[in-house]
Structure 1
């Protein structure tokens, strides 16, 4: 049993943890499939698009802009270069619409961050396009609650360790909360922190990973409403 536990810093993922995000990608993907229905079946288009996204992550990173470029690339490939300019134009318009979509907070997001900010350092740790993430944070109304905001190109164990160090926190004194096992939980467990998985109904295929069942520092919650109680219980249990 651990003793004299200190949990000083709690990191929150943004997209699909604090507010809706993947739903807008799915809607745009459905539009992409409809626009190219004369050239290929839905499953084939979705598979080709996912392959393009995976291939392009190292070039464009995460976010709407890389998604739009991958849709355009896929459209050119499946039509063997015959895709109409009007389709390209519609895909670009769909991307601009994604960058304008209103922020819809997920259940208990504000209450959880407010409750934990009273006694802990709370950080927003998110990946994706800088301008888009800054826009979403500003529109969410949550910005003033965070002690720090970290917008990174990817989430790895090395990145988390550097973030925690920059904020004066040892990894074992940190917790990360998010909807992605691959990005929000597993890398933090790898550096000795606590990982809390809050599943979202929609998860991008490239974010799937198996849960680390049996890991002493891994927890899963149905929603953010249970997070303050979980943190309180961990502190009570480990500091008896």
Structure 2
């Protein structure tokens, strides 16, 4: 379908690896007279291709889309189509990742628990005002974005880092904890930001030095 310039409607690309969720988004957006679906994708490479082919006004992008890191995907979309507004959809607040995504130029970060009228308002809002940023996150998450507290790891982040200290890969950690690999990657990114770490080993060393994880974790892999 044609983008806004030819149809008079706001064109939206949907990027999520769950077909049922995309179908729900499509039904919500197509129920309104001013929105049109420009294209759909289920992974990062297809998302970039859809944006390149259609130049949509807005992209609704799942934060855990399979393929490239979400920050890399955002950067590629922004490079290919600077006028396209990117709204991230997520199951989690992820304050530290949110901070980096905002720096990368996203126009919105919405939890998937929002109501349809909030989604529609966000899409219209970022389209009508390119300078607007729409956030639908918890107050606690917003507080951390406004004033982050580096070094404070969540229980899940500590658990993941302890497994990383045993030289387990992201995929192995994901299988051990029953998580998606993309979720583990997201947690690792948050850990790096909080600890100001440049590598997994650096993060482990800093966490052990600060007694955030037990020092014996590394010895378990020996």
Q: TM-score, normalised by structure 1?
A: 0.30
Return the structure number with greater relative CO, CA threshold 8 A, min gap 6: 1
Q: TM-score, normalised by structure 2?
A: 0.32
